[in-house]
Structure 1
Amino acid sequence: MAVLPIRITGDPVLHTVASPVEEITDEVRSLVADMVETMIAAPGVGLAAPQVGVGSRIFVYRWQDDDDVLHEGVAINPELWLAPTPLGEPDEDEESEGCLSIPGERFPLRRSPAAILRATNLDGERYEVEAEGWLARIFQHEYDHLDGVLYADRLDHPHGKAAAKIVRKRGWGVPGQEWMPGLDDLEG
């Protein structure tokens, strides 16, 4: 296993729809192990294959809820079903999220409060997870990565404008930029 560099917004792989995984090979298993190690080192609660430069429909997640229940897994070729997203402005304390591909930043984003994830695991078995709250948010965030969408792309004004300004100020938004968890300090 290895910690992989994480691509920063502007890299084409982050803004392109990922391809389905045709077969679960040893290469896919190795990639997933590296993604889990990278996610933990970052630290993050989810990581999609495009974030480490691989245009495949895979994401991993690992999050412990307030009841100390650990939710973790790998989603290969996922499908995501969402409850309607509530209207109104997002709560800046409860609905802010960040992204390892826009490191060190957080902005409020309204998301669906519930989701159903259907995916394949590393054993080639289909499974389903019903999620609410933060876990549903994680699934939506990572699934967006597989469609070439970063959370900053979904931000409303004025947060979208602020995010775009930060990207420009840091010189991001162009191909070829990445950071290495454990080595680079990009927290602000």
Structure 2
Amino acid sequence: MAVMDILHLPDPILRRKAHKVLVFDKEFNKLADDMIETLRAAPGVGLAAPQVGVSQRLIVIEYGEEDEEGKEAPKKLYVVANPEIISTSEQIVNGVEACLSVPNLVGEVERYYGITVKGQNRKGKPVKIKAQGWLARVFQHEIDHLDGIIYTDRATEVWKPKEGEDYAAD
């Protein structure tokens, strides 16, 4: 496994629609492993293949909710090829987002509170994921990357965080 370079705006790959994953071979699985290692090294909660210069519809997300006592639950890892949002909640919520490809900025973005995503796992088998809250936000953010959309395109406000403010980057 290897840590990959994360592209930053205005790199044109970040603005292109990524290609569908058709082959789930060793090379594809190495890309997934390298993306996971890159995500953890960044550190971030989500990463899309275009962010590491690969125009494929692949996302990796590693996220754990806090429990009632404020302790972080074990993180769950998602590796999803060809993700597609197939249903959304009616409820839309505002939240602050950051991005590994847009360093030193954060923004207020409206997203669906809940979504259902279908895609394929590392072996090409169908998967369906129901996500709510922050996890749903991360999936929407990463799927946007696959279509050349950056969170700043959807933000109602963008700003440079003050010293000491910490935001999870997708």
Which TM-score applies when normalising by structure 1? 0.78
Listed one character per residue, the Cα deviations across residues 152-174 of structure 1 (whole Å, up to 9, x for unaligned) are: 01112xx25x58xxxxxxxxxxx
8 Å contact 1:85–1:110 — kept in the other structure? no
CA distance in 2, matches of 1:45, 1:37: 12
Tell me, what secondary structure is at the counterpart of 2:110? coil
**1:51 aligned to 2:51?**
yes
Name the structure 2 match of 1:4: 4
2:110 and 2:154 in contact (8 A); partners too: no
Identity %: 40
Match of 2:76 among 64, 71, 76: 71
- Give the counterpart letter for 2:138 in structure 1: I
| Paired amino acid for 2:80 | A
State the TM-score, normalizing by the size of structure 2.
0.86
Task: Give the unaligned 5+ runs of structure 1.
Answer: 164-188
3-state SS, counterpart of residue 83 of structure 2: strand
Residue deviations 1:123-148 (CA, integer Å, cap 9, x gap): 22111111100000010000000000
Distance between the aligned counterparts of 1:150 and 1:85, measured in 2?
Answer: 22
State the match for 1:24 in structure 2.
24
Higher strand share: 2
Runs of 5+ consecutive residues of structure 2 not aligned to the other structure: 68-72, 161-170
Q: Deviations over 1:95-121 (max 9, x none)?
A: 101000001321111111001111101
Return the offset for 1:49. Answer: 0.1
1:86 maps to 92
1:48/1:58 contact within 8 Å kept: yes
**Would you say the 8 A contact 2:60–2:80 is kept in 1?**
yes
Deviation at 1:71, TM superposition (A): 2.3
Report the residue type matching 2:85 in the other structure: L
Contact 2:98 2:105 in 1 (8 A): yes
Secondary structure at 2:112 match in 1: coil
Shift of 1:70: 2.2
Deviation string, structure 1 residues 12-48 (Cα, Å, up to 9, x no partner):
1100100001111111111110000000000000000
- How far apart are residue 86 of structure 1 and its match? 2.8
SS at match of 1:109: strand
For residue 101 of structure 1, what is the aligned residue in structure 2?
Answer: 101
Runs ≥4 in structure 1, deviation > 4 angstroms? none
